[in-house]
Structure 1
Amino acid sequence: MEREGNRLWEKVLEEARQKIDPASLNLWIRPLQFNSFSSNRLVIKAPNQFIRQRVKEKYLPLLQLILNELLMQEDVKIDLDIAEERSSYTEKREYTPPHISNSYYLRLNPRYNFDTFVVGNNNRLAHAAALAVAQSPSATYNPLFIYGDVGLGKTHLLQAIAHFILKNRPNVSFNYLSSEQFTNELINAIRDDKTVEFRRKHRSADVLLVDDIHFLAGKERTQEEFFHTFNALYEAHKQIVLSSDRPPGEIPTLEKRLRSRFEWGLITDIQPPDLETRVAILKKKAEMERIVLSDEVANFIAERVKTNIRRLEGCLMRLIAYSSLYDIDINNIDCARDVLKDIISPKESKLITPEIIQQNVAKYYRIKEGQLKGKKRVKSIALPRQVAMYLCRELTDCSFPEIGEKFGGKDHTTVMHAWRKIKEQRKKDKNLNRDIEEIIQRITS
């Protein structure tokens, strides 16, 4: 009966491949495993509650329909259970204390845990994936690659995984470090003739967490070493979690073989938080400081600081410090305006929309607004379009998909590419940077 049930599940998967896009199939369906089969139940196990719930809500009706068609009856139902927690680290192996050096403990911020992470639409998938990895390392998303701009919570999630392991999985060892620290440790190991110890340290961990992996770009010797470290861990079914400021395909001078491996698992991004999430972050931070923050002051800050959580929290901490020092009510809105006036710029105080940006960009480059939303790729139109997309991302609260809609229904990946391209070109092209500064001046004046 078990063999028959397993074959039946394989047939269901084969049919599902024809009806579910590859990305969704790999993300949600591939982790499911056949468990048991009886006359009226086909039991399938998900590796964690997150995947189980997602499959139940979105894919179970389709899977059930496929099963009914294969059996030509409706008596057999698919039941979704959660697999027992994977214990590949302890099976057939005596317990040994985790080999975590004091330096790894010191690198962890005690406040960077899952309880203090504010979940919103901008980071929901990244948070859920990080939690799933912490609960069951290497059972689902391996590697897990989280990317996003500076100050959006990537480091928070990586350290939250480490804290969860320390608290709930004491027999699981981990290494947490930045790619810069990995490089420095490698240099020291080569200098001191201790490369064997270096490799043993990083290739024997159950979980490897590397922050800012994009800094490996251009470092050939470090990339070579990390390539072999990655392979050793992956082949041993150990968990790898990486963070970056961009997806693997956009990291310059990253070796193709590393890029390919980074793309083996789940790639998920963190976008700037929306207004509601920013307010929630401020409220959470205030609560941690044992302060009650009014909606008026929270909204005042959140409406003006849109793209960087660290800066958002920095504004609050400055207000708290000023309030304490001068014994002024922190919820005095006039006080907030005065204290933060030099770090909240005029452009953040003025309401700017994609339409306003399109008008100003079109006028500056002497083209029609409609051409920004069209499909022509000639340079005289493509560059202004990319500049406008870039400015929409920098000056508004719109997500990549929302910006795409404002430009004739462009895909969000097109907007992301434009934003990153202009962001990089501004650093190299003085004329382009001057043009953009002039446009920003017109928009915000």
Structure 2
Amino acid sequence: MSKTASSVWNECLSFIKDNIKQQAYKTWFEPIKPVKLAGEALTIQVPSKFFYEWLEEHYIKLLRVALVKQLGEDAKLVYDVRMENNYSSSNPHTVKIPSSNRNPINPQGVTVPMDINKRELKNPFIIPGIQKVKIESQLNPNYNFASFVEGDSNRLGRSAGMAVANKPGGTSFNPLLIYGGVGLGKTHIAHAIGVEIKDKYPDKTVLYISSEKFTQQYIDSVKGNTRNDFIHFYQMIDVLIIDDVQFLSGKTGTQDVFFHIFNHLHQNGKQVILTSDKAPVDMQDIEQRLLSRFKWGLSAELQAPDYETRVSILKNKLYRDGVEMPDEIIEYIAKHIKSNVRELEGVLISMIAQASFNRKEFTLSLTKQIVDKFVKNTKREVSIDYIQKVVSSYFELDVATLQSKTRKRHIVQARQLAMYFAKRMTKASLASIGSQIGKRDHATVLHACKTVDNLTETDKQFRKYVDDITKKLTF
């Protein structure tokens, strides 16, 4: 039976598949199409110039051995490279490029690695036409560990971030997922890790990007028929930081492409850092295979700062800005602004602005005015402690009984209602809610929320409980 391009290439693929990881095989060999066999020269079509260069640099020895097995010592490989037409992406043309392996294969299989700077890489972050690969990190140097105030609410996240910065890709915190509510410092820690890595390892390629921008770049790559270049670009990153990963929810194509990028980076010892306003268990419309990977490393929750941490944050901000403020004013702000760091800093900026414009000193009355306005104009988040107090009071229980292990029906229902309202009215994760309401796990909280939903629809008396408690919590 005479050999064809397809039969030779299929035999080569069988050999290659047994010698590399499955993900590498899917990424780099499945997209290749056999085109022509002329004597000992096999022509294969690859999707881009970058693709062919990557094969030449990383897999030439493997390709040589596979081809020799099929075509003998004089085997040659020619790439039919699909080149995009700038005027019509639907009308690409191809350029034939011989492999660097033009001569018969030598016994040692020695190859000369290509210079990475010669690649014409589609970089989403640089102006088209610039040939040199230069990836700007997109990091904010002001967000560093020195300016991040540590407290009980964020200690795990900060410590894990420091560990990753000291040894990117070399700890069990890969990926590192930092999650928590708005304004608690997730983005700050993510940037701080990147800034620290760039300082300690200048040669590492670090990239920070929001998931919205990542999604837009992916959409653009699909429109421009450059999807493979998009994937290859991100697979070159040493430390990838993706902010607000929950925004990938429902975006199936973006999730799929991120899945392949994540696998490649993780398998090659690269570091992935993610931030989210939800724990993995609470993320909706994210593929299960992606969620499972988010759980491979460490998920660290940032919670609202306690009073002492809030005071430290205010003092740190004032010190950095070179502003002096009486302790009683700092303490007043810390006592009344409890939800997040962003609001604390917002009040401080308003105070400084008012005092500067009106040439007034910082006074307690001015502070009260600004704090009152700020609190009034800010949507307040009910705390889990407050929810437990309101529910306990409604059922004439104390909070300790609500949190206890008892299985008495009315107490179980009260506990389930507290969990339901905590899920509905706070940004806390299921794990955090369970921990604060009697040290339960996230599955218990999930079950409680489903039970309350079912009973509200089927039980008139229970629906009245929900309506009454809702009024107490919102008025």
TM range (shorter): 0.5 to 0.7
Residues 364, 262 of structure 1: alpha-carbon distance in 2 compared, 3 angstrom cutoff? same
* TM-score normalized with structure 1 length: 0.65
Equivalent in the alignment of 2:93: none
The amino acid that maps onto 2:292 is S
Unaligned 5+ segments in structure 1 are 1-91
> Is 1:133 the counterpart of 2:164 in the alignment?
yes
The amino acid that maps onto 1:410 is K
Residues 157, 418 of structure 1: alpha-carbon distance in 2 compared, 3 angstrom cutoff? farther
State how 1:430-441 maps to structure 2 within 5 Å. Answer: 435-440=468-473
1:341 to 356, 359, 372: 372
Equivalent in the alignment of 2:232: 200
Q: Counterparts of 1:236 and 1:399 in 2: how far apart (Å)? A: 31
Query: 1:364, 1:439 within 8 Å by CA — same for their partners in 2?
Result: no
Query: 2:143, 2:192 within 8 Å by CA — same for their partners in 1?
Result: yes
Query: 2:136, 2:207 within 8 Å by CA — same for their partners in 1?
Result: no
Q: Counterparts of 1:436 and 1:143 in 2: how far apart (Å)? A: 40
Equivalent in the alignment of 1:410: 439
> Is 1:150 the counterpart of 2:179 in the alignment?
no
Q: Counterparts of 1:201 and 1:163 in 2: how far apart (Å)? A: 21
Give CA-to-partner distance per residue, 1:88-137, whole Å, 9 cap, x none.
xxxx998979x894698584333211110001111112111111212211
Query: 1:100, 1:174 within 8 Å by CA — same for their partners in 2?
Result: no
Q: Counterparts of 1:370 and 1:377 in 2: how far apart (Å)? A: 14
Residues 256, 436 of structure 1: alpha-carbon distance in 2 compared, 3 angstrom cutoff? same
> Is 1:120 the counterpart of 2:151 in the alignment?
yes
The amino acid that maps onto 2:471 is E
Residues 323, 105 of structure 1: alpha-carbon distance in 2 compared, 3 angstrom cutoff? farther
Query: 2:137, 2:207 within 8 Å by CA — same for their partners in 1?
Result: no
Question: Shift of residue 373 of structure 1?
Answer: 3.0
The amino acid that maps onto 1:232 is H
Give CA-to-partner distance per residue, 1:180-213, whole Å, 9 cap, x none.
1111110010001111221121111001101111
Query: 2:174, 2:273 within 8 Å by CA — same for their partners in 1?
Result: yes
Q: Counterparts of 2:240 and 2:435 in 1: how far apart (Å)? A: 38
What SS does the corresponding residue of 2:374 show, helix, strand or coil? coil
Query: 1:95, 1:171 within 8 Å by CA — same for their partners in 2?
Result: no
Query: 2:137, 2:208 within 8 Å by CA — same for their partners in 1?
Result: no
Query: 1:297, 1:336 within 8 Å by CA — same for their partners in 2?
Result: yes
1:162 to 191, 194, 203: 194
Query: 1:96, 1:171 within 8 Å by CA — same for their partners in 2?
Result: no
Query: 1:389, 1:415 within 8 Å by CA — same for their partners in 2?
Result: no
Residues 415, 278 of structure 1: alpha-carbon distance in 2 compared, 3 angstrom cutoff? farther
Question: Shift of residue 404 of structure 1?
Answer: 6.6
What SS does the corresponding residue of 2:183 show, helix, strand or coil? coil
What SS does the corresponding residue of 2:259 show, helix, strand or coil? helix
Question: Shift of residue 272 of structure 1?
Answer: 1.1
Residues 333, 94 of structure 1: alpha-carbon distance in 2 compared, 3 angstrom cutoff? farther
> Is 1:245 the counterpart of 2:277 in the alignment?
yes
Query: 1:271, 1:399 within 8 Å by CA — same for their partners in 2?
Result: no
What SS does the corresponding residue of 1:241 show, helix, strand or coil? strand
State how 1:316-331 maps to structure 2 within 5 Å. Answer: 316-330=348-362
Aligned residues: 342
CA RMSD in angstroms comes to 4.3
Question: Shift of residue 326 of structure 1?
Answer: 0.8
What SS does the corresponding residue of 1:342 show, helix, strand or coil? helix
Question: Shift of residue 289 of structure 1?
Answer: 1.6
> Is 1:385 the counterpart of 2:418 in the alignment?
no
Q: Counterparts of 1:343 and 1:163 in 2: how far apart (Å)? A: 32
The amino acid that maps onto 1:360 is V
What SS does the corresponding residue of 1:267 show, helix, strand or coil? strand
The amino acid that maps onto 2:352 is I
What SS does the corresponding residue of 2:178 show, helix, strand or coil? strand
The amino acid that maps onto 1:388 is A
* TM-score normalized with structure 2 length: 0.61
Q: Counterparts of 1:195 and 1:111 in 2: how far apart (Å)? A: 34
